[in-house]
Amino acid sequence: MNLDEKLATLKYNKDNESHLSVDEDVCIRCKEKPCTFICPANVYEWNEEKCIMTIRYENCLECGACKIACEKNNITWRYPNGGYGVKYKNG
């Protein structure tokens, strides 16, 4: 079962604005970029050529792992607005 199939089991109420952001000038200097592999929903993807971080915030599971893993303390992390984001039926 791949990640897309896992995420497809979930219900989300997508917010119009992202609750996650990074400063890409800082990401450029980050060698490991742990956010790009430790996120359980693979929200972060780094484009090496364009030096752009794509943030698929709509897939976020709101766990908070990315901000703790970020060595540069470069992830601005807040909760989605009330009623938005992931909605677990089982938990």
Partner 1 sequence: MENNKVEVIIVGAGPAGASAAITLARAGKKVLLADRADNAGDKNVFGGTIYAKQTAEIYPNFWETAPVERAVTEQKIFMLTDCDSVQFGYKYASKASYKAFTVKRSNWDRWCVEQAQKEGAYFAPKTLVKELLIENGKVVGVQTEFEKFYSDIVIIADGVNSLLAKQIGLRNEIKDKDVSLSVKEVIEIPKENLQDRFNIDDEDGCACKILGGPLKDIMALGFMCTNKNSIALGYSVSIDELKKHNIKPYELLEELKEHPTIASYIKGGKTIEYSSHLIPEGGYNCIPKVYDNRVLVAGDAAMFVNNIHFEGTNLAMLSGKLAAETAIEALNLSDCSASVLCRYYKKLENSILIKDLRTHRNTIDVIRKNIHTLTSLYPELACDFFDLLTSADEIPKRAKYRKFLSKFIKSRGITASIPFVFLAMEKCFKK
Q: Which of 90, 88, 44, 89 is nearest to 65 (CA)?
A: 44
Q: What is the DSSP string of 32-61?
A: S-THHHH-TT--EEEETTTTEEEE-GGG--
Q: Look up residue 66 and give its DSSP letter.
A: H
Supply the minimum distance, in Å, between the C-beta of residue 6 and partner 1: 4
Q: Give least dist CB 50 to partner 1, A.
A: 23
Residue type, 25: D
Residue of the chain from 24, 26, 46, 69 that contacts partner 1 (CB under 8 A): 69
List binders of partner 1 among 17-56 (CB under 8 A): 32, 34, 37-42
Give the interface segment with partner 1, choosing from 20-28, 44-52, 81-89 (CB under 8 A). Answer: 81-89
Cβ proximity to partner 1: between 53 and 75 the closer is 75
